[in-house]
Amino acid sequence: MTDRERYRPFTGDSETRVRLQTAPLELVLFQLRWPELAYLQSENLTPIAQAFGVTLSEYPLYSSTPEMTFSVGPTGVQQHEVGTVHQWSSIDRKRHVSLGKTFLSIYTQDYPGWPDFAEHLRAVLDLLQANVDIRYVERVGVRYLNRIADPELMGRLGEFVTPQVLGYQSLPTPASADVVLLQNLNQAQFSVGGGILQVRSGVMAPGTTLDPSVAPVSGPSWILDIDAMIEVNAAFDLEEVLAQAGRMSDAAYDFFKFIIKTGFIEQFGTRTPDADSDPA
């Protein structure tokens, strides 16, 4: 992964990296999706998942949750249980592997940087290939979820990112102190090199969160959620999956660098011309 040419679709800058020692990064997630496979239906998945889980020595904690889908009908939105999601976690509960009948996800709340994370992906995907026998894949995705909750930093967001990312937060201050922006989510979608880059940013109301894996906070917070994915639709090739994941990580990083200001770097880290880096 370190020998490949890095992908910079927004800035075109492959030299200057941003190293953030105190990045406000809450979650980094990788997901691999495949079509419905006959032998991975609900009645068959549990023993396969158990055999897979035995090999995940770094993830000794186990749990399972129902996998739900939603449909809209004459009586409104209906929930339907379509299977079980099996999840394994590290002892400190900061790293997780989840397996459903059409996906594998690997996420961490203690991100070491892309090179180390990619090597971890390689190890888990190798075990997946050996124990679950996924022969065909549809999609590869990488997601970075940032959150700022410190009230002092919330008041300085204009120093950190471009006004377009702030949305309604960039409006002039209302004349009355009774006017408080409770929630503001901006969403954009870009086509990037055959993949899709989805971005959500804005203020979250107290007690709310964008992802159930990230606990809500008691006060308002600001989020920057960058989700890059690519449709693969090919036989499962471990090296190709890792290459596509690296390409999507690069696209997410490049967008992040595209929209942050110098104030973000000064607050959370330093600029280093020769360091390998990733989205905050």
Per-residue tokens: 262: 């110098």
pLDDT in tens, 249-278: 999 999 999 999 999 999 998 655 444 445
- Annotate 27-52 with b (16+ C-beta within 10 A) or e (fewer): bbbbbbbbeebeebeeeebeebbeeb
CA 24, CA 73: separation in Å to the nearest integer? 40
* The pairing of beta strand 61-73 with beta strand 76-89: antiparallel
Pick the residue with more confidence: 125 or 274? 125
CA-atom Rg of the chain in angstroms: 20
pLDDT in tens, 44-86: 899 999 999 999 999 999 999 987 565 555 665 455 556 799 9
Residue range 106-110: mean pLDDT, rounded: 96
- Provide the whole-model pTM: 0.88
Q: Angle 63-64-67 (CA atoms, 0-180°, nearest 5)? A: 155
CA 41, CA 269: separation in Å to the nearest integer? 46
Is the pLDDT assigned to residue 183 strictly greater than 50? yes
Residue 275 has a pLDDT of: 45
Work out the number of other CB atoms within 10 angstroms of the CB of residue 236: 18
pLDDT in tens, 6-42: 889 998 876 666 778 888 999 999 999 999 988 887 6
Q: Which residue, 142, 168, 139, is CA-closest to 250?
A: 142
